[in-house]
Amino acid sequence: MAESILVIPLEGRLDSFTAPAIRQEIERLRAAQEHEALVFEAKHLTYISSTGLRVIMQAIKAEQAQKHAPVSIIEARKEVYEILEMTGLTELIKVEKSYREISLEGSRLIGKGFYGQVFQIDEDTVVKLYADGKASLPLMEREQALARKAFIRGIPTAIPYDIVRVGEQYGTMFELLQARTFNDLVREYEQDRGKLEELMALYVSCLKQVHATEMERGELPLARDIMLERLQSLQEVLPLEIIGRLQNLLTELPEDLHVVHGDFQMKNVMLCHGEPMLIDMETLCTGQPIFDLQALYVSYKAFKEDEPENAMAFMGLHGETQDYIWQRLLELYFGTEDKGRLKALEDKIRVAAYIRFLYTLETTWHKGRALTEVRIKNTRKQLQELLPRVESLSLEEDS
């Protein structure tokens, strides 16, 4: 028999005055309906006291005694969820939040990426809407926590202040005060190299500020460990000898507790009152600068290696402009225009970048496409050519 679920709505206040009547009603409903799981629907519950919590606990114990499925609470309002979290009930049973519903009518699409879209709601507010429905909620909650950590450390960060619901999708709200992405500004100034130079200087300065910020051990995941884990998922597309060599190069990198954004491409950096501000903080980690630079190589170079039109399709930029961004990024970041030195640095960055690139091809909607097979084949060839001349992934040796 399919599991029978008893849903009991909770409304108003559950306190010492209302608890006796609500307890009796819960007992009556439990006895009246045969069920295997109990769910409290708390959408209209405005307050719960310690007496009310005891009512819930009594129901939990009664369900456990009957060997039913674990009790859960759904659609808990923010203020109720905070009480449940503070008392530790969220660690005992599953509690789902209720999220404010908004409409995108009249909003403007200002960005699009792998995980969703960004809409400008009004002059001051944007929402980043994720594509995976409820599955994205842990990612959004993680982003809020990481953004706060970065902000406290002095990194210019747009802190997501609310999680909202749009139909069956969920998103995070940001207050950006009429900010624009660096990508939009590059598109506007694409033919004006003077303004592009100013933007690039500001952009690289922000990247260096991020990399100069140090965290405490254990505050953030290590970028090296993330990359090593991703490498293990590439055994179907890379020969074992290449995987072994890449693993050695990554393992030999010393541990580093400086911040890495993880996806610093220009759609994730806003210009707000003349100052850069970061969004998309869910990829925040710590490690050496190569772990940001390799992601930028993927965004501005790797994707268009076998599909030149990708530059316009994904970034809205001409391929020549993306080449300019990448070249100036290297020159400004490392403070040199020496071609030989930059070539040696770029070789190391490309080795790490191709791990990320292959992982993206294997774990997103790219998998199985004819173009993806071409990309995998050519990336494998690039690694075979690069690895004999790359002895270390440390960029300091060439700085």
Q: What are the extents of the domains in the chain?
A: 5-98, 108-175, 180-398
pLDDT at 194: 95
180-398: what CATH class? alpha beta
Question: What rounded mean pLDDT belongs to the chain?
Answer: 91
Average pLDDT over residues 281-285: 90
Selection from 69, 65, 6 nearest residue 35 by Cα: 6
What 3-state class would DSSP assign to 215? coil
Question: What's residue 399's pLDDT?
Answer: 46
DSSP string of 12-71? EEESTTTHHHHHHHHHHHHHHS--SEEEEEEEEEEEE-HHHHHHHHHHHHHHHHTTPPPP
- Point out the least confidently predicted range of 161-175, 365-379, 381-395: 161-175
Q: What's the pLDDT band for 397 if we cut at 50, 70, 90?
A: low
Q: Which two tokens stand for residue 317?
A: 């930029």
Say which residues have a Cβ less than 8 Å from residue 63's Cβ, sequence separation at least 6. 30, 38, 69, 70, 71
Largest CA distance in the chain: 80
Residue 114 confidence (pLDDT): 64
pLDDT in tens, 149-174: 999 999 999 888 888 889 888 899 88
pLDDT at site 134: 75
What is the tens place of the pLDDT at every residue in 227-236? 999 999 999 9
CATH topology of domain 108-175: Phosphorylase Kinase; domain 1 (3.30.200)
pLDDT band at 15 (very low <50, low <70, confident <90, very high): very high
| 1 band by pLDDT with thresholds 50, 70 and 90 | very low
Cβ neighbourhood burial of 246 (10 Å; 0-12, 13-18, 19+): buried
| pLDDT score of 257 more than 60 | yes
User: Do the beta carbons of residue 186 and residue 317 sit within 8 Å?
Assistant: yes
**Would 108-175 and 180-398 be classified into the same CATH topology?**
no
Per-residue model confidence (pLDDT) at position 139: 82
Helix (H, G, I), strand (E, B) or coil at 150: helix
| Rounded Cα gap, residues 229 and 256, in angstroms | 17
Give percent of the chain with pLDDT exceeding 70: 97
Decide if pLDDT at 2 tops 70.
Answer: no
Domain 5-98 has what CATH class? alpha beta
pLDDT in tens, 292-343: 999 999 999 999 999 999 889 888 999 999 999 999 999 999 999 999 999 9
Edge-to-edge strand order for the sheet containing 180-181?
Answer: 180-181, 269-272, 275-278
Structure tokens at 119: 């809409």
What's the confidence (pLDDT) of residue 113? 66
Is the confidence at residue 60, as pLDDT, over 80? yes
pLDDT digits (tens, 9 = 90+) for 100-153: 889 999 898 877 766 778 888 887 888 888 888 777 888 888 888 888 899 999
